[in-house]
């Protein structure tokens, strides 16, 4: 029988990973290809979806950190947990506010130049996915 912290950590890790993959790498790019979806509509939908995703991610990050902190975890598990949490914090505290300011301007009808902020967000998402995959593998191989 596996300890509760390990089962919880595996479940939370793969739930978090699945949500990021589904939203960031599937829903987000596809919504702009749907017929009739304009940039303002896509931005409005994206803001709602990512606000919800980030809230759930924050809850999952706390749950994961608590589960790992309270368990008899292998040493290799701590690094990916810290990486995933730090990457999420950078997204929430640094990149998302910049993206929100830009999308506010677009939604207000302003013609703004392209921004690199989305590329930073995607780069952080890729790194977060890598951390979550490494964490999931580490948890499964040591459980």
Residue 1 has pLDDT above 60, yes or no: no
Among 129, 121, 123, 84, residue whose Cα is nearest residue 99: 121
Which SS3 state, helix, strand or coil, does residue 35 take?
Answer: coil
**pLDDT tens string 82-139:** 999 999 999 999 999 999 999 999 989 998 888 899 999 999 999 999 999 999 999 9
**pLDDT tens string 15-32:** 999 999 999 999 999 998
Other beta carbons within 10 angstroms of residue 2's beta carbon come to: 11
């Amino acid at each position: 029988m596996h300890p509760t912290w390990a089962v919880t950590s595996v479940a939370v890790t793969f739930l978090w990973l699945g949500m990021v993959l589904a939203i960031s790498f599937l829903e987000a790019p596809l919504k702009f290809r749907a017929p009739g979806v304009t940039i303002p509509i896509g931005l409005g939908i994206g803001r709602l979806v990512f606000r919800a995703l980030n809230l759930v991610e924050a809850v999952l990050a706390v749950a994961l950190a608590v589960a790992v902190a309270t368990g008899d975890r292998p040493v290799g598990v701590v690094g990916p947990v810290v990486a995933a949490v730090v990457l999420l914090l950078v997204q929430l505290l640094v990149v998302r506010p910049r993206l929100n300011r830009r999308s506010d301007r677009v939604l207000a009808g302003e013609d703004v130049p392209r921004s690199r902020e989305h590329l930073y967000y995607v780069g952080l998402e890729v790194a977060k996915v890598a951390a979550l995959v490494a964490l999931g593998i580490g948890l499964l191989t040591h459980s």
